[in-house]
Structures are given as structure tokens and as C-alpha cells.
Amino acid sequence: MKELLKTKGFKMTPQRELIFSAFFELGEHVSVDELYAKVREVDESVGYSTVWRNLKLICRVGLAEEVNIGDGVTRYDRVTHDPHGHLYCRECKQFFEFDSEAVVDLMSAVADRQGFRPEGFKVEIDGVCRQCLRKSKKDNRNGRSGRSRTDAEKASGQAKG
């Protein structure tokens, strides 16, 4: 690791070491804030911008890549040997992963057909996960209803959503 950085002209500092290892201890889909919190558990003095810059650095050297699901927060995924896609549950806001040889094959087939050189892909399926499906079924049985705001009310910017 240290060598990977050195050969590219980067220095190794205590903060950097801490940030890197913290990133790899956390799972996938790490946001800057999450990483920052994790790092601060160990060393209170590390600055936010240092965490941010090092997260970018981790990407730059090819150990992670950005993931965007559209909630306004960029997350970072460790680059593994097996590419994967994401299932995102709209109810519980959680990520699930899936690996699929088939997806990879399909992606390259599609790219090939258009003379496109693929360098990476992102596959995201939005929906509702098993747990939440169960839960909402139960809620329906118990007769949960009560809508408080009309569609129009929600659409206008009059209240926090």
C-alpha cells in the first residue's frame, strides 16, 4: 500500500494511513461524513478536508470509485475483483448488493455493439426489499391509512419532505 502511493509520488502520513485503513474497515458505500466520523474516533485532530482529499486519493489510485444513487450524497465503493450492482430499497434506504457474471457479460456486449470501450459500469435497481415488502403487507392488514397531505401539497415547496 505504502509502496503503491510512493511510486506515484505521494507521501505517507499518519493521517493518510489512518484514513486509508478506516476506509477499508468500513464496508461498501462509504460517504465522506461516515469516514470522517470513523477517523475522528481514533484521532480527533484530523480535518474534514484531509479525509475528503484522501478519499479522492483512494479513488485516484484505483482502490475505490464513486457511487451515486441520487440522494445527493456521493459514496465510495472499494474496488473489488468482482464487479457488482446495487439494489436500493426506497423504503429503508438501504443498499444490497448482487454479483452477477451475467451482468458483466451483458454490459460488454452492449458496449461492443456501439464501438464503445467500457471502463466501468454502474447498475442500480430501485425498489422495495424483502423486509419492507413484508412490513408493508402487515401494515395493510392492520388498516394503516390516514393521508395527511394531498399530492399537490407535497408537490409545492411548502413543507419539508
Using DSSP bridges, classify how beta strands 95-99 and 84-89 pair: parallel, antiparallel or unpaired.
Answer: antiparallel
Q: Residues in the site for its own copies, rule: CB under 8 A?
A: 8-11, 49, 53, 56-57, 60, 66-70, 74, 85, 87, 89-90, 96, 98, 100, 102-103, 106-107, 110-111, 113-130, 133, 150-152, 154-157
67 belongs to the binding site for DNA (CB under 7 A):
no
DSSP 74-105: EEEEE--SS-EEEEEETTT--EEEEE-HHHHH
74 belongs to the binding site for DNA (CB under 7 A):
yes
d(CA 86, CA 96) in angstroms, rounded, equals: 6
Least distance (Å) from its own copies to the CB of residue 73?
A: 11
Secondary structure element (H or E) that encloses residue 108, with its range: helix 101-113
The residues of the shown chain that bind DNA, judged by CB under 7 A, are 2, 5-6, 9-16, 31-33, 45-50, 52-54, 56, 72-74, 150, 152-153, 155-161
